[in-house]
Amino acid sequence: MKEYLALFRVRFITSLQYRAAALAGIATQFAWGFMELLAFSAFYKVNPGAFPMEFRQVVTYIWIQQAFLAMFMVWFYENEIFAAIQSGAIAYELVRPVDLYNRWFSSSVANRLAKAVLRSMPILIVAFLVPPPLRMSLPPSGGQFALFFLSTFLALGVVVSFNMLVYISTFYTLSPVGARIIAAMLADFLAGSIIPLPFFPAGFRYVAELLPFAAMQNMPLRIYSGHISGTAALYGIGFQIVWLITLVGLGKFLMKHALRRVVVQGG
Amino acid sequence: MIQLQNISKTFRIAKRQAGLGRAVKALFSRDYETVHALRDVSFTIGPGEMVGYIGPNGAGKSTTIKIMCGILTPSSGTCLIHGRIPWQDRLRHVSEIGVVFGQRSQLWWDVPVCDSFELLREVYRVDAKEFRRNLDELVPLLDLSEVLKTPTRSLSLGQRMRCELAASLLHSPQILFLDEPTIGLDAVSKIAVRQFVRKLNQERGTTVILTTHDMQDIEALTRRIILLGKGRILFDGPLDDLKKRFPGAKTITLEYRGNAPSILPGVEILDSRDGRLVLKVQPTRGLVSDLIAHIASQVQILDLSVAGASAEEMVAALYKEYAI
């Protein structure tokens, strides 16, 4: 365990150094967040009763999503991992007495956490200061906040374990840029990154809420905003745990298979 | 103890012809080509041995190293290192070996070298005392005290390679694989690396397996060489035996003042200009001294050197002999 913590630490510290990237990210997330808020507020002005979530909940959903984007977005891949597989630098990773799955998992989590730490504070501060209709609200209760906290980390785990499947696929198809992007777009859409899952049409929503993507940002954001609470929230967390275990198990199995037939590229 | 028996490795590679039409066709049906990277490779390396593993590009050197490191699974054959099959017991195996791939870096790019070392300490679970002892030994030997606080990305290649060597030895491995450790280094750095490896082998008794294209590395470091060509072992034995098989020509280089001298029959001129003459002589008895006397009687010799066949030439001759 200690060695993974050490790898986690070095990745975390390295990621913290990229301040310019963080600033650019914050700017993008403000722009995107405001755009979404304006679009939703236009819809709600027409008919506030026609939607499955209260406007207040949607506003909070969007602000937290933007603040913790780096933890929730599937497309935040670790390019180093793709590069290591494609260039053959993975040879060095394989001569270490470290489980490669755990190693990549911990460095992905570290990278995402470091990015989120840098970016979340300014966004949250602004979100609590803007005038009321667009202002972010506090969670309904302390207990609900604790559930949100737990659910956030489970969501991060599910996102990273899904990323791991994409990394592992690189062993089989060497330049999966296209597949990578499509996987990320689809996953993010089904996770509720464009519109929250409750806005999906009924039948489609029913299916979407069973997929692993619903165990990503969908859960913590709806728990924080109070759209899911009480036993429903506990059920949601159980749902996340089940998918986390499934995806990690699948990833470890595939990794083992991939390493057995691995071809280290480039001499 | 390293034992390889009848190791073969084949790769299936999709062939792609040039051109758009062929590329489109390749979407539907692909031609595969089977490449035999290694055929029937067997050897045994005892503890504390230092072995040069040489051969032209594509001979299968790196493939063998990767099999011995547990990274690649051979198509057939067995390999036992310390009684373990590397690719089946990879995690345990790799904690007892050190590896340097000359063409890649194992140090974390953005962090100071000492942080990379610290991280490797955690990864290999080296206890603090042993780590300190290794570091105290390695830092002066490799002259690292100046660069420890520098991030890897700002190191010169020579500095980096010395750090790579140290990094591969922090967990006191019994076997060290060096895959082209001197590639791209300047003469000074090469010598530093060689001295260090020799010392390591003598003092710690570390088994060293070294691949290189630099025959000076081989001459400076190893008694035994294994020569590989097209995936087969062509020669396995002491470098001196190889030398005996190729008595080879002597090369005489001399600088002189005066007009170009005449030479004796049976001597080949390799180069002649501006008072510098390079001659190739078949070493029949007395010819070398006769030749030098003959030239000295005509011109004033300023400088003179006689060299035997270099290992490089021998290897080139071997390649020719086996038609690789």
DSSP string, A40-91: HHHHHHH-GGGSSS-HHHHHHHHHHHHHTHHHH-TT---HHHHHHHHHSTHH
10 Å CB burial of residue B6 (0-12, 13-18, 19+) is middle
Query: What is the rounded distance in angstroms from the CA atom of residue A64 to the CA atom of residue A139?
Result: 11
The owner of tokens 């610290």 is B118
User: Does residue B172 belong to the interface with chain A, where contact is any CB pair within 8 Å?
Assistant: no
Positive/negative CA dihedral, A52, A54, A57, A62:
positive
What CA–CA distances, in Å, run from A130 to A53, A61, A126, B64? 21, 15, 6, 64
The answer on pLDDT for B318 being more than 80 is no
CA distance B293 to B290: 5
Q: Which residue has the higher pLDDT, A191 or B268?
A: A191
Sheet (strand B276-281) strand order: B267-273, B276-281, B250-257, B300-307
Residue B290 has pLDDT above 70, yes or no: yes
The pLDDT value given to residue A85 = 81
Q: How many CA atoms lie within 13 A of B139 on its CB side?
A: 14
Instruction: Determine the average pLDDT of the residues in B109-117.
Output: 88
The residues of A whose Cβ lies within 8 A of any Cβ of B are 2-3, 5-7, 10, 13-14, 17, 88-89, 91-92, 94-99, 260-264, 267
Facing A95 at nearest CB: one of B57, B62, B71: B71
Q: What's the whole-number average pLDDT of chain B?
A: 85
Shortest distance between the Cα of B212 and any Cα of chain A, in A, equals 13
Residue A10 and residue B97: Cβ atoms within 8 Å? no
Between chains, do B91 and A98 touch, taking CB under 8 Å as contact? yes
State residue A156's pLDDT score. Answer: 96
Q: What is the pLDDT of residue B111?
A: 85
Check residue B25 and give its pLDDT: 67
Residue recorded with tokens 């599910």? A158
Which chain B residues touch A17 with a CB distance below 8 Å? 110
Residues B143-168 have a mean pLDDT of 90
What type of residue sits at position B284? T
Q: How far apart are CA B97 and CA B164, in angstroms?
A: 14
Distances (CA, A) of A75 to A166, A179, A223, A246, A265: 10, 12, 23, 20, 25
Distance CA B12, CA B96 (A): 31
Q: Mind giving me the DSSP string for A109-135?
A: HHHHHHHHHHHHHHHHHHHHHS-GGG-
Q: What is the reported pLDDT for B22? A: 67
* Per-residue confidence (pLDDT) for residue A45, from 0 to 100: 86
Check pLDDT > 80 for residue B29.
no
What's the gap in Å between the CA of B146 and the closest CA on chain A? Answer: 22
Determine how β-strand B267-273 pairs with β-strand B276-281.
antiparallel
How many beta carbons lie within 10 A of that of residue B84, not counting itself? 15
Q: Hey, which residues 68-97 in chain B have their CB within 8 Å of chain A?
A: 69-73, 87, 90-92, 94-95, 97
Closest B-chain CA to A94: B71
Confidence of residue B23 (pLDDT cuts 50, 70, 90): low
Q: Which of A62-71, B133-142, B143-152, B210-219 has the lowest mean pLDDT?
A: B210-219
Arithmetic mean of pLDDT, A30-56: 87
Looking at the complex, report in whole angstroms how far the Cα of residue B122 sits from the nearest Cα belonging to chain A.
Answer: 5
Taking CA–CA distances from A92, the nearest residue in chain B reads B106
Cβ contact (<8 Å) for A97 and B118? Answer: no
What does the mean pLDDT of chain A come to? 87
User: Backbone phi, then psi, for B6, in 5-degree steps?
Assistant: 50, 45
Residue A116 burial class via C-beta count within 10 angstroms: exposed 0-12, middle 13-18, buried 19 and up: buried
Rounded Cα–Cα distance for residues A209 and A190 (Å)? 9
Residue in B62, B101, B123 closest to A3 by CB: B123
In the prediction, which pLDDT does B102 show?
A: 83
Which two structure tokens, joined as six digits, stand for B148?
């420890």
B183 CB near a chain A CB, below 8 Å?
no
Given pLDDT bands bounded at 50, 70 and 90, which one contains residue A154? very high
pLDDT band with cut points at 50, 70 and 90 for residue A266: very low
Query: What is the pLDDT, as a whole number, of residue B252?
Result: 84
Report the relative pairing of strands B2-15 and B31-45 from DSSP bridges: antiparallel
CA distance B117 to B132: 11
Q: Rounded distance, CA B154 to CA B110, Å?
A: 9
Token pair in block for residue B84: 């373990």
Q: How confident is the model at residue B208 (pLDDT cuts 50, 70, 90)?
A: very high
> How close does chain B come to A11, measured CA to CA in Å?
10
What Å distances lie between residue A46 and A51, A53, A133, A202, B321, CA to CA?
11, 15, 15, 21, 88
| A55-67 vs A19-46: helix crossing angle, rounded to 10 | 170
pLDDT of residue A105: 94
Single out the residue of A109, A90, A14, A3 nearest to residue B119, CA to CA. A3
Give the closest of A14, A98, A264 to B66, CB-based.
A264
Report the Cα–Cα distance between both ends of chain A, in Å, rounded: 33
Query: What's the confidence (pLDDT) of residue B307?
Result: 76
Q: Do B62 and A17 touch (CB under 8 A)?
A: no
For the CA atoms of B166, B170, B173, B177, what is the dihedral angle to 10 degrees? -30
Q: For residue A255, with 0-12 CB atoms within 10 Å meaning exposed, 13-18 middle and 19 or more buried, which class applies? A: buried
Question: Tell me, what's the pLDDT at A263?
Answer: 57
Contact flag B71-A92 (C-beta cutoff 8 Å): no
**Average pLDDT of span A49-72:** 89
pLDDT at B17: 63
Least confident window among A24-33, A51-60, B204-213, B236-245: B236-245
Cβ atoms B93, B2 nearer than 8 A: no
The answer to whether A31 and A66 have CB atoms below 8 angstroms apart is no
- pLDDT tens digits for range A207-239: 999 999 999 999 999 999 888 888 888 999 999
| Interchain CB contact of B104 with A (< 8 Å) | yes
The residue-averaged pLDDT of B198-222 equals 88
A4–chain B nearest CA distance, Å:
8
* Whole-number Å distance between alpha carbons of B208 and B153: 28
Whole-number pLDDT of residue A265:
54
Q: A122 phi and psi, to 5 degrees?
A: -55, -40
Contact B90 A92 (CB under 8 A): no
Tokens standing for residue A224: 């924080």
Please tell me which residue of chain A has the smallest CA distance to B93: A97
What is the pLDDT confidence band of residue B317, given thresholds at 50, 70 and 90?
confident
The neighbouring-strand residues paired with B31 are: B15
- The residues spanned by each domain of chain A are 2-261
Instruction: Give the pTM.
Output: 0.81
Q: Report helix, strand or coil for B58.
A: coil
* pLDDT at B248 (0 to 100): 65
- A267 band by pLDDT with thresholds 50, 70 and 90: very low
Round to whole Å and give the CA distance between B138 and B132. Answer: 10
Rounded to an integer, what distance in angstroms lies between the CA atom of residue B123 and that of residue A97? 7
What residue of B is the nearest CA neighbor of A87? B104
| ipTM of model | 0.74
Closest residue in chain A to residue B89, using alpha carbons only: A97
**Calpha distance B43→B53 (Å, rounded):** 11
- Residue A201's alpha-carbon distances to A46, A196, A198, A207, A226, in angstroms, are 19, 11, 8, 10, 21
Please give the structure tokens belonging to residue B196.
């260090």
